[in-house]
Amino acid sequence: MTLTRRGFTAGVAAGLAAPYIIGSARAQSGGTIKIGMCAPITGPAAEAGKYATGGAKLAVEAINKAGGVLGKQLELIIEDDQITNPGIVLAFSKLAAQPDIVGFLGSIRSTQVHAMAPDVMKLGKPVMFGGTDPNLTKLGNPWLFRFRPNDSYSGRVIADYGVKTLGKKKWAVLHSTDAFGTAGGKALTEALGKLDATIAIDQGYANQSQDFTPVVLAIKQSGADILGSYFTFENDLGIFARQLRQLGVNIPWVGSPSIVNVTALKLAGPALYGTYGVADYAEESTPGAKAFGKAYREAYKVAPDNQSSWPFDAVNVLALAIKNAGSTDPQKIREAIVAIKKYPGAEGEYNFDKNGDGLHGYNIVKNDKGNIVFDKHIEFDD
């Protein structure tokens, strides 16, 4: 049973490799620098997984075409994380068992990153991820690097835009009660507190609710003049948006990234017209974003979204760090990543801080009758 990892296209490899093969496959070590990636190849988020692996592969191909890193080609090894916590723990342990992998791409879901964090700590190699729970870079884990702005920034940007640009001070905060929603809601209320805005109502809801009438009525009664929201699932967002408009609430609404995603626009339709959303990836925001959009469209014939932009940046930054360090030693790579400043990525300008956060701001986009248009970028330097 001689298998070379190289012979596999990465996505299929995850599928066919029965556990017992791994032992023999591991012995192989070519002249490549290996990067491991956990992504949902199967399960409910398989569609998102395609975008993620697409973004990462795009970066790998471009780097290899330009001659690779330290004279070696990059190789991406993908494992299926099934979008579940046990799934990513297994996928990561499978990758971690291969000693020649120098760095990893984790998940866009915060709870999955939480789940794998102890193993990352144990392994002691750099892991790039896209989850936006602010706590993830405050775990005291030096090996986690974030490639999307965290929710304390989305909260601050929503608050900043609402208070300073739209001039509204009486807020309704609505968030789902899952990890993403609670962290976001907390970040938003904290940011509003610092801007001296009042919070008329702070409301959580459970995912997959069939009806939001009580929530809408509570918002209406609170007398809030602006709404900030963190929705996880598009169907909840759609039902809420429709009922909000039906019951006559027409206050400005600034939402987390899900408010501008394609599915939400399809489900909610006109109910979301005129709303604002924060977006980490907006194609019109920077030259780097534009270039990435063009390349992605050429390669895959569809428009990219934030599922694909962060893995693209993560691979590029990791390659740059290896080049700057001149070595694949984990500690040296880590130091090189932290030293990266003003790197123009697809998501924005990366300035890594000591926590491992690369981005410190968000774009604000507006839903203009179903079209998403770039409004402004808000950046923080702390």
Partner 1 sequence: MSSTDQIQPVAALPRPKPLLLRHAPYFIAAAALVFLAASMRFDGYILNILMQATTFAIAVFGLSVVLGLCGQINLAQAAFFGFGAYAVGLGTTDYQLNYWICLFGGCIMALVAGAVLGLSTLRLGGHYLAMVTISFQQIVTLVMINAIWLTKGPDGVSRIGRPSLFTSSQSYLAFCVAVLAIVGYMVWHLPDTRLGRAMRAVRDNELAAGVNGIDVFRTKVTAFAISAVLGGLGGGLFAGGFAYISPDQFSFAESIVFLTMSLLGGVASPIGSAIGTGLLILIPEWLRFLKSVPGLYLAIYGLSVILIIRFMPDGIWGFVTAAYDRIRARKPAPAIGIPLVLKPAATGGDMVLEVTGLSKHFGGLKAVDQVDIAVHRGGVHALIGPNGSGKTTTLNVLSGLYEATAGKVLLDGTDVTTMPPHLRTAAGLGRTFQNIRLFRSMTALENVVIGAERPGNTMVGRGDATALTERALAALTFVGLGPRANELITSFSYGHQRLIEIARALAANPTLLLLDEPAAGLNSSEKLELHELLKRIAAQGLTILIIDHDMTLVSEAAQHITVLNFGRRIADGESMAVLRHPDVVSAYLGTD
Partner 2 sequence: MDLVLQLLFTGIGIGAVYALVALGFVLIFRATNVVNFAQGEFSMVAAYIMVVCAVDLALPYWLSFIIALAGMAVVGLVFNLGVYYPLRHRTYLPVIIATIGASILMANGVLALYGPQPQVLPGWFETPGIQLGPVYLDSQYLLIIAVTVVLVIFNYWFFEHTMLGKKLQATSQDKEMASLLGISVSTMIMITFIYSAVLGGLAGLLVAPLLFVSIQMGSTIALKAFAATIIGGFGDVAGAIIGGLALGIIETFGAAYISVPYKDGFAFLVLVLFLVFRPQGIFGERVAEKA
Q: Which does 247 bind (CB under 5 to 8 A by kind): partner 2, partner 1, none?
A: partner 2
Question: For the range 324-329, what are the long-range contacts, defined as Cβ-Cβ under 8 Å and sequence gap of 24 or more?
Answer: 326/70, 327/70, 328/33, 328/70, 328/102
- 82 lines the binding site for partner 1 (CB under 8 A): yes
- 178 lines the binding site for partner 1 (CB under 8 A): yes
The span from the CA of 323 to the CA of 85, in Å, is 33
Site string for partner 1, 195-234 (x = CB under 8 A): ---------x-x----------------------------
Order of strands across the sheet with 253-255? 198-205, 170-176, 226-230, 253-255, 276-279, 361-368, 371-379
Q: Which of residues 40-59 bind partner 1 (CB under 8 A)?
A: 41-44, 46-47
- 42 lines the binding site for partner 2 (CB under 8 A): no
Site string for partner 2, 241-260 (x = CB under 8 A): -x---xxx------------
Q: Which does 222 bind (CB under 5 to 8 A by kind): partner 1, partner 2, none?
A: none
- 347 lines the binding site for partner 2 (CB under 8 A): no
- β-strands 371-379, 361-368: how paired? antiparallel
Q: Which of 125, 102, 98 is nearest to 28 (CA)?
A: 98
Q: Can you list the alpha helix ranges (DSSP code H) found in the chain?
A: 10-16, 22-26, 46-65, 85-96, 110-123, 151-160, 179-194, 213-222, 234-246, 262-268, 287-300, 306-325, 330-338
- Selected from 29, 198, 208, 371, the binder of partner 2 by CB under 8 A is 208
Query: Are the C-beta atoms of residues 223 and 249 closer than 8 Å to each other?
Result: no
Q: Residues interacting with partner 2, by CB under 8 A?
A: 44-47, 177, 203-206, 208-211, 213-215, 217-218, 221, 234-235, 238-239, 242, 246-248, 263, 266-267, 269
Q: Residues interacting with partner 1, by CB under 8 A?
A: 11-12, 14-19, 22-23, 26, 41-44, 46-47, 80, 82, 84-86, 89-90, 93-94, 96-97, 110-111, 114-115, 117-119, 133, 135, 139, 177-180, 182-183, 204, 206
